[in-house]
């Protein structure tokens, strides 16, 4: 496995995984979700992870989020060995899990309330984030009044309210229609360029990974290992025209060959 293409040398890593593996104990024996995972994600880098369903992507993200422990190897964040959830890491899941009885603004403020940080000091940050995701007009509405894409944007604003330096995203746009998804991809790129976050983004859309990322980590099926780390040197900002360039198509084709010709996705 340690070919030149899987050895990773990002300078000043925000996130570092060494020989990382996760095996779940079950009554019928161990299930290894992923193993032999070596990756550095550089500060301010956008890394996307693609792989087939069940190859351990979410398991890996939960480890980095501090919600689950490795069974082998190490994970460090900002040079410190990971001990549990950290305030400098924000997480966006596929379903934003908004509280229906809270307004949009109150949902964004949820982490502030949970950590008893005091709403007053954080109110301007929350409002600024709503502006960033184009939801200022909806601050006082309730989740049921919002479309799926808008709800997901609330989830993104909420993940940013503690001003994390690292954003972990687990198939955040997977449940949305293609046009909403393209729009959110553009917004996410803008947010990343303006706010200089480190983003670790899981998707099973190869095109989405190529569109967003500086590097795409391609995983094999379970137990998930790194098949290749592909640098994506397309200029930024990328826009919808980027997707019809030959270079874009070449990256997508290259990654797709790992998955037996699946059409852009991996299921």
Ligand X SMILES: Nc1ncnc2c1ncn2[C@@H]1O[C@H](COP(=O)(O)OP(=O)(O)O)[C@@H](O)[C@H]1O
Judged by CB, which is closer to ligand X: 2, or 26?
Answer: 26
CB of 1 to ligand X, least distance (A): 19
265 binds, among ligand X, Mg ion, none (CB under 5 to 8 A by kind): none
Q: Is 35 in the site for Mg ion (CB under 5 A)?
A: no
CB of 55 or CB of 156, closer to ligand X: 55
Q: Among 13-21, 55-63, 137-145, 207-215, which window interacts with Mg ion (CB under 5 A)?
A: 55-63
In angstroms, give the least distance from the CB of 54 to ligand X.
4
The span from the CA of 228 to the CA of 239, in Å, is 25
Q: Which is nearer to ligand X, 24 or 99 (CB)?
A: 24
Site for Mg ion contains 58 (CB under 5 A): yes
- CB 217 → ligand X: shortest distance, Å? 12
Residue 24 interaction partner, one of ligand X, Mg ion, none, beta carbon < 5-8 Å per kind: ligand X
The residue ranges that bind ligand X (CB under 6 A) are 24, 26, 31, 33, 51, 53-59, 222
Q: Which is nearer to ligand X, 44 or 174 (by Cβ)?
A: 174
To ligand X, the closest distance from the beta carbon of 53 in angstroms equals 5
Please state the closest distance from residue 147 (CB atom) to ligand X, in A. Answer: 25
3-state secondary structure string across the chain: CCCCCCCCCCCCEEEEEEEEEEEEEECCEEEEEEEEEEEEEECCCEEEEECCCCCCHHHHHHHHCCCCCCCEEEEEECCEECCCCCCCEEEECCCCCCCCCCCHHHHHCHHHHHCCCCHHHHHHHHHHHHHHCCCHHHCCCCHHHCCHHHHHHHHHHHHHCCCCCEEEEECCCCCCCHHHHHHHHHHHHHHHHHHCCEEEEEECEHHHHHHHCCEEEEECCCCECEEEEEECCCCCCCCHHHHHCHHHHHHHHHHHHHHCCCCCECC
Question: Taking contact as CB under 5 A, which single stretch among the options 1-9, 56-64, 121-129, 248-256 is the one that binds Mg ion?
Answer: 56-64
Residues that bind Mg ion (CB under 5 A): 57-58
């Amino acid at each position: 496995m340690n070919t030149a293409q899987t050895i990773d040398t990002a300078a000043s890593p925000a996130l570092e995984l060494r020989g990382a593996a996760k095996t779940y104990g079950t009554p019928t024996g161990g299930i290894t979700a992923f193993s032999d995972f070596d990756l550095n994600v550089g500060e301010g880098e956008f890394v996307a992870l693609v792989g087939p369903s069940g190859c351990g992507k979410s398991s890996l993200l939960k480890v980095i989020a501090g919600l689950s422990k490795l069974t082998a190897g190490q994970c460090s964040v900002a040079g410190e060995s990971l001990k549990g959830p950290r305030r400098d890491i924000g997480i966006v899941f596929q379903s934003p899990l908004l509280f229906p009885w809270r307004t949009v603004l109150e949902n964004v403020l949820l982490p502030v309330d949970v950590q008893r940080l005091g709403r007053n000091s954080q109110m301007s940050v929350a409002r600024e984030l709503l502006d960033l995701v184009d939801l200022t007009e909806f601050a006082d509405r309730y989740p049921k009044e919002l479309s799926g894409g808008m709800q997901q944007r609330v989830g993104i604003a909420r993940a940013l309210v503690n001003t994390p330096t690292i954003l972990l995203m687990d198939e955040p746009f997977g449940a949305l229609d293609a046009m909403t998804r393209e729009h959110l991809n553009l917004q996410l790129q803008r947010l990343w360029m303006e706010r200089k976050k480190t983003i670790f983004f899981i998707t099973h859309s190869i095109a989405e990974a190529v569109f967003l990322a500086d590097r795409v980590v391609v995983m094999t099926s379970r137990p998930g290992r790194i098949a290749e780390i592909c640098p994506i040197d397309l200029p930024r900002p990328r826009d919808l025209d980027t997707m019809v360039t030959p270079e874009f198509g070449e990256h997508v084709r290259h990654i797709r060959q790992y998955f037996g010709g699946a059409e852009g996705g991996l299921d």
